[in-house]
Amino acid sequence: MDIILLGPPGAGKGTQAKRLVAERDLVQLSTGDMLRAAIAAGTPVGLKAKAVMERGELVSDAIVSALIGEHLDKSNGKGAIFDGYPRTGHQAEALELLLADRGRKLDHVIELKVDEDALVERICGRFTCAQCGALYHDTAHPPQVEGVCDECGSTEFKRRPDDNEETVRKRMAEYRAKTAPILPVYESQGLVREVDGMGTVDEVAAAIDAILDA
């Protein structure tokens, strides 16, 4: 099963993708995570992407599509949850080819519908465990013991440098201008299912499960 999770920054794509990986035999392919790993490793791709990401703009289609191709080849033929990819029409075309070359095609495009003002609060409060990557939020989902990760006990946390209001607004504008226009193409193929992304994590999860198990 190959699924795209589509929605603006902070819609819950990463949270839902991680849950699906834990519950089903799927891999999460997040171009944002791949780019952050490239930056941390100081690779040529990371060097190119860093400033673009800090401005909240989109990294080039060629770079992200190449990353997706590499990771598809490393995922042992497991179904993929595309998280944060595709983000432009060119990327959507590239994905179709990458899948077709491997005898695969998309099964679902799940659109997480959300209210933009609520997203700014969601994004500006989020942080992750520096050790295991568990996701937290200052008000909505703080660790049970302050300063200690529920999952692995680490006391080190980190915030993304692009999770500030100014960059978030820019990322949303990029979503409206470049990513939302790819939805009609998927709609015309009958692939799009809408989910209300403003519910709790469990409510959103239940709505996604109902689509995948239908």
- Please tell me the distance from the alpha carbon of residue 169 to that of residue 197, in angstroms, as a whole number: 18
Type of residue at 98: L
b vs e for 186-197, b when ≥16 Cβ sit within 10 Å of the residue's Cβ? beeeebbbebeb
Q: How far is the CB of 112 from ligand AMP (least distance, A)?
A: 13
Size of the site for ligand AMP (CB under 6 A): 17
Residues with catalytic function: 13, 87, 126, 160, 171
- Scanning residues 28 to 87, which ones bind ligand AMP (CB under 6 A)? 31-32, 35, 52-53, 56-59, 64, 84-85, 87
Q: Least Å distance between CB 171 and ligand AMP? A: 5
Our CB check for ligand AMP shows the closer of 85 and 186 to be 85
Provide the minimum distance between the beta carbon of 144 and ligand AMP in the complex, in angstroms, as a whole number. 26
Burial status of residue 81 (CB atoms within 10 A of its CB: 0-12, 13-18, 19 or more) = buried
Within positions 20 to 39, which residues make up the interface with ligand AMP, using CB under 6 A? 31-32, 35
C-beta of 191: minimal distance to ligand AMP in Å?
A: 18
Q: Which of residues 132-191 bind ligand AMP (CB under 6 A)?
A: 162, 171
- Is 30:83 a contact under the CB 8 Å cutoff? yes
Neighbouring residues of 211: CB distance < 8 A, sequence distance ≥ 6: 108, 110, 193, 195
Q: Taking CB under 6 A as the criterion, which residues in 89-118 touch ligand AMP?
A: 91
Q: Which residue has the tokens 């939020």?
A: 137
> 27: closest CA among 16, 12, 17?
17
Which residue ranges make up the site for ligand AMP (CB under 6 A)? 9, 31-32, 35, 52-53, 56-59, 64, 84-85, 87, 91, 162, 171
